[in-house]
Structure 1
Amino acid sequence: MRSVLRLAATAATALLLTLSGTVPGNAAPAPVAAHCSGSRCAGKSPVSTGCDHRARTVRRSAEIGPLMELRYSSACRAAWVRVTHARGGDRIEARNKGGACRPTSCYAKTVAAGHSSAYTAMVNDKGIKAWGCLQRRNGNVVCTEAY
């Protein structure tokens, strides 16, 4: 009886590992297909929509200190800002239209206390130029060029 239970437990473990894509020696799981495009991505997470897969950095800040990147997904035709080496309280924005930060054209994220990185929700970048800005806790602001 013990050998049957052990065999069943081993088979169940193997099945779970196979389904999760973590079996040693297996190829990496296929990237998640993008779940939105253009304006339908506005305000959504690049990670939960799969837009972060195969995304690329198209602009970077020139400031010494935190690295702010404007990320772009050609599959989703959307952009977002990612910052690393920042301090809690620094604020990043992804924008795609001029003027004040408004819903669907600007998404901001403040780096949480005790953290050094963050990313914004996405803005539509289908036929629209997007850019990113970083406002440091000390009030300094730096923005990328538009893409």
Structure 2
Amino acid sequence: MTERDETTMRTLVRLTVTAAASLLLTMPGTVPGIAAPAGVTAHCTGSGCAGKSPATTGCDHHARTVRRSAGIGPLVELRYSSACRAAWVRVTHARGGDRIEARNKGGACRRKSCYSTTVTSGRSSAYTAMVNDKGVKAWGCLHRRNGNVVCTEAY
């Protein structure tokens, strides 16, 4: 391969990466504030969403923040999709090792009523899998590494 061929190849790769990044950034749900197109449908509803990702099911396209934590520190949001009738928790400004959970019933965490995830080291945000929010209330909590717990109100 000649030097001119290599230069041409690098240029094509750069253009392809730039085009792919532009498409990704304009996809609904990828950037806050960009609405989903009218034809986007969710792939689950209610208890059928339990344990699934809001991003892979399309539920994030129909979501809104219905409850937020109060106070200083990480922002804990309870996200809700009316199309999916499901909720999940999203945290921003957290630290690696902090744990968030989404619940929809009182008492101990049970399968399909509670999902949690830990913020990865080096990251400051994360979200949980979904819980059913059809006919029940859901809420979310952040368990800080220092022992503090911050929760949203139920929705």
Identify the structure with the greater helix proportion: 2
What is aligned with 2:27? none
Please give the secondary structure, in 1, of the residue aligned with 2:73.
Answer: coil
Runs of 5+ unmatched residues, structure 1: 1-16, 23-27
1:54 positional shift:
2.5
Backbone CA RMSD of aligned residues:
1.8
Q: State the alpha-carbon separation in 2 of the partners of residues 133 and 100 from structure 1.
A: 14
Alignment partner, residue 132 of structure 1: 140
Q: Find out whether 1:41 has 2:36 as its counterpart.
A: no
Residue from 93, 102, 106 that aligns with 2:101: 93
Structure 2: 5+ residue stretches without partners: 1-18, 24-33
Rounded to whole Å, the distance in 1 between the matches of 2:112 and 2:129 is 10
Higher radius of gyration, 1 or 2: 1
TM-score relative to the length of structure 2: 0.75
Aligned-partner residue type, residue 112 of structure 1: T
Structure 1 SS opposite 2:97: coil
- 2:130 corresponds, among 108, 113, 122, to 122
1:40 alignment partner, SS class: helix
CA distance in 2, matches of 1:137, 1:77: 31
Pairing 1:70–2:78 present: yes
Report the equivalent of 1:61.
Answer: 69
Structure 1 residue runs of 4+, over 6 Å off?
Answer: none
Deviations 1:8-34 (A, max 9, x none): xxxxxxxxx8xxx95xxxxx9846410
TM-score of the superposed pair, with normalisation by structure 1: 0.79
Alignment: residue pair count:
123
